[in-house]
Structure 1
Amino acid sequence: MSMSTTPFALICGDRSAFINGPEPAEVRIPLSGHGQKAVKKKAQVHTGMLVADHPGDKRGEAHSSICGVVAEVTPECVVITAQKPAEPAEGEEPAKTQADAIDLSSLEKDGLKAALKSLGIDLRVFLRRAELLIINGLNPDPGIRWAEALLENHKATLEKGLALLKVLSPAENIILAAHDAGISLAGASTRAVAPVYPNSVERLLAAAVTGSEQAKGVNVIGLHELYRLGCAAETGLPVTQTVMTVQDKNYLVKVGTTVQALLDHAGISVGEGDRVVLGGPLRGRSLSRLDIGIGKDDTALFVVPAGTYPPVSDTACINCGECILRCPARIRPNLLGRYSEFRMYDKCKDEYIDSCVECGLCSYWCVARRPVLQLIQLAKHQIVLQEQQVTACSLQGETK
């Protein structure tokens, strides 16, 4: 996974404070895997109230980001219409507008994990076994620019998150990977890494910090996740906001705010043929509709004007080799894309699909404009499903 020269600088220097996102009239709280709904239609909810929980013991619960009334509950989201609580009658207690805070400071590891899950924190990334923990202080994709703002304006919050992280993580050594060795966080040493994409991709960042492509016992935590953990440490309240770069500015956005509402708030219009991308320009996903809600893990929103790039097509690979030359993992994305297209997933394994870091450079440089990254992601997903089926059949055979 040696680094090759690319034109994608990870923008540094934007240290401005975050702009508050819109006060939405409606939120659509995404329910990725949250199967057990905690509210019903027409229920009154307050900010931070549980709306759905996740069966996994390491996946955070979902909460309302506003006060209002549940308008609809679907498998994809909980729709809440903003509404102020009714004035209490004489002698009645006023309606609740905010969830109760949890004091995390005195909790031991097991109690802390349970509390963080209840606050909507995804624990999976924090609990990985590792001897070395790397905090990714680079902006994750070209165009995203909140890393410097977090390190400059929210350093105390990040350090509170780091203190909690030390309780959760078994790592003995913690390194902050940043664009400047002068940047620091209490409790971590700093290592300067060139802010050039795809250095910010987890596996490539680990290689840059350790000097080894086969480094073991390494876990990489994003600055976004650390900030979220720090907010929980400071407030004891559920996750109801996310930090996002919208075009060229940084916003604090309430979870569930629709993409359309956020674009309107930022004064960005979408024209005919424009492409709206949720996430980074290279690794994000193009949206077919604008009424979906922003999730707690969403980090950016961009509008790519029509004609900026040639449209993606189903053209056959022309064997130009551009994707191979640009691939930091030194594999052959062109073959992986073809094998995925024709459902030859065993061949994908033979071509080291697990070495793909999903940086998206193959799709960007593809002369034929094939969706190479998406084809590789599809193959990875199908391989996981096949392995799960094999495991299920094996277990079923053991019980007979």
Structure 2
Amino acid sequence: MYGLSRRKRWPVRRRFLLPVPREVDMLKIHYSLDSELHNEILEIPAPAELNIQVRNLVLRTKKGALINKGDILAEAPSPFGGAYHASACGKVMKVNYHHMTIKCSDSETSVEPLDVQSMGTGKELLRTLQGLGVHVAPLSGRADVLIINGMNPEPGISAAQQILKDGGEYLKAGLELARKLITPGRTVLAVAKGDKSAIPGAETVGVKAKYPSSLDALVVRAVTGKEFPSDTKVISVMDLYDLGRVAVSGQPITDTIMTIAGRNYRVPLGTPIKHLLQTLDLPVASTDIVVLGGPFQGESVYSLDEGVKKTDYGLFIIPASQFPAVQDAPCINCGECVLQCPARVQPHLISRYAEYERFEQAEKHGLNSCFECGLCSFNCFSRRPLLQYIRFAKAQLQASGHGEQA
């Protein structure tokens, strides 16, 4: 390597092409998952129109159709993914590969509820839950240990903490249904150390409240002391809450809980971001970056017309001057992404294979072992979109039938 064999090799952290100020080299960032709750869950009013992301989904309606709240709009092609439902009544105005637009009406007609709690265990119950919008992968098959991940998913998001505080009835019903399907010998609620939250029927274990400790794989290791134990299943407290609401009401999932400007709101699925900003009087400059999700795993939006999805638990407005812009710059082989990676893969290598559409090579080098935590992109000195490349490769492999199914 250009004569490095004759010279002392510096540790990976010191391999920079440009001088790095000592203040940056010594910077210690603490990714705290602790949040302060200000109130109960607040309601966001229904918007004038819904924008539903339908890319890679199987459509179950068409342009011009009149729909009621709770009607199925699309289904996931994977064997475990939940269906997508209308969060309001209205008329389908536009459908393309990416989005479906629904003009909302004043009607409040909803689909008839199903008696989920009286159903026996087995495929019928799983298919019913899937048809009501529940992702059933964690509920399929038996396990000795069931772990409820009660950690806030990312810094700045307090949805999990809020649900543990306010979702008692639904969490209890969700756990009863989950235990009915999984029949675990041990049920554990993982929460941040010092958190006194509890769910009847589950023992409580404290986990260090520092990202990425909230990732499912790391929560499992913290609770069991093992990596990827075959006898363990994990479900997030947000999914358990949704499962309980489905069990109690018999109605499909049509909203999500989001942390916005430090408070938690119940947001109808498909609500355009601009409706949230206008309702909450949040100003956005043309140069700001708006992120759906969290600061590490979230995605910046290209339009304020984009609608909220099931797995969006936060909305952040990032001033343009706060972080250097992400760019398709060359990798400088500093190794920082490898040092930060909790999955112990090589993001710099995988992302380069993805960049040049060599997806099979990316898969061979640990693509599917990636947790998509976003630490690689966040810490990249070149500001490369590493997480986006990794997600792109996974999506392309899945679309071609070669990737792992969710």
* TM-score bin, normalised by smaller chain: 0.7 to 0.9
1:320 equivalenced with 2:334 (yes/no)? yes
Deviations 1:106-149 (A, max 9, x none): 11123322332332222223225533221110011111111111
Aligned equivalent of 1:145: 158
1:29 equivalenced with 2:42 (yes/no)? no
Aligned equivalent of 2:285: 271
Contact 1:39 1:52 in 2 (8 A): no
Label 1:236 to 1:336 Cα distance change in 2 as closer, same or farther (>3 A): same
Determine the C-alpha separation between the residues in 1 that align with 2:339 and 2:34. 24
**Greater CA deviation, 347-356 or 199-208?**
347-356
Determine the C-alpha separation between the residues in 1 that align with 2:169 and 2:145. 22
State the identity %: 37
Aligned equivalent of 2:182: 169
Contact 1:181 1:191 in 2 (8 A): no
Counterpart of 1:24, as a letter, is: P
| Residue among 109, 119, 122 paired with 1:97 | 109
Would you identify which runs of 4 or more consecutive aligned residues in structure 1 move more than 6 Å?
none
Label 1:376 to 1:57 Cα distance change in 2 as closer, same or farther (>3 A): closer
Determine the C-alpha separation between the residues in 1 that align with 2:371 and 2:78. 26
Question: Secondary structure of the equivalent of 1:244?
Answer: strand
User: How far apart are 1:387 and its partner, in Å?
Assistant: 6.9
Contact 2:38 2:263 in 1 (8 A): no
Contact 1:181 1:190 in 2 (8 A): no
Deviations 1:157-211 (A, max 9, x none): 1111111111222533221110146321112111110111000111111111111
User: How far apart are 1:294 and its partner, in Å?
Assistant: 1.3
Label 1:307 to 1:113 Cα distance change in 2 as closer, same or farther (>3 A): same
Pairing 1:365-376 to 2, within 5 Å after superposition? 365-376=379-390
Determine the C-alpha separation between the residues in 2 that align with 1:34 and 1:375. 21
Aligned equivalent of 1:157: 170
1:12 equivalenced with 2:24 (yes/no)? no
**Greater CA deviation, 106-115 or 196-205?**
106-115
Counterpart of 2:53, as a letter, is: P
Question: Secondary structure of the equivalent of 2:112?
Answer: coil
Q: Where does the alignment leave 5 or more consecutive residues of structure 1 unmatched? A: 86-95, 390-400
**Greater CA deviation, 228-237 or 102-111?**
102-111
Counterpart of 1:30, as a letter, is: Q
Question: Secondary structure of the equivalent of 2:282?
Answer: coil
Determine the C-alpha separation between the residues in 2 that align with 1:387 and 1:253. 33
Label 1:133 to 1:267 Cα distance change in 2 as closer, same or farther (>3 A): same
| Residue among 17, 21, 44 paired with 2:66 | 44
User: How far apart are 1:350 and its partner, in Å?
Assistant: 5.5
Q: Compute the RMSD of aligned alpha carbons.
A: 2.5
Determine the C-alpha separation between the residues in 2 that align with 1:35 and 1:334. 34
Question: Secondary structure of the equivalent of 1:388?
Answer: coil
Aligned equivalent of 1:80: 102
**Greater CA deviation, 347-356 or 117-126?**
347-356
Determine the C-alpha separation between the residues in 2 that align with 1:56 and 1:23. 30
Contact 1:38 1:53 in 2 (8 A): no
User: How far apart are 1:217 and its partner, in Å?
Assistant: 2.5
Counterpart of 1:255, as a letter, is: L
Deviations 1:329-362 (A, max 9, x none): 3333223333333445555455434433221111
Q: TM (normalized to structure 2)?
A: 0.84
Pairing 1:105-120 to 2, within 5 Å after superposition? 105-109=117-121, 110-120=123-133
Label 1:128 to 1:195 Cα distance change in 2 as closer, same or farther (>3 A): farther
**Greater CA deviation, 73-82 or 257-266?**
73-82
1:194 equivalenced with 2:208 (yes/no)? yes
Determine the C-alpha separation between the residues in 2 that align with 1:191 and 1:9. 18
Deviations 1:222-266 (A, max 9, x none): 111111111112211121111111232211001111111112112
Contact 2:255 2:268 in 1 (8 A): yes
Q: TM (normalized to structure 1)?
A: 0.85
Determine the C-alpha separation between the residues in 2 that align with 1:61 and 1:349. 28
User: How far apart are 1:220 and its partner, in Å?
Assistant: 1.6
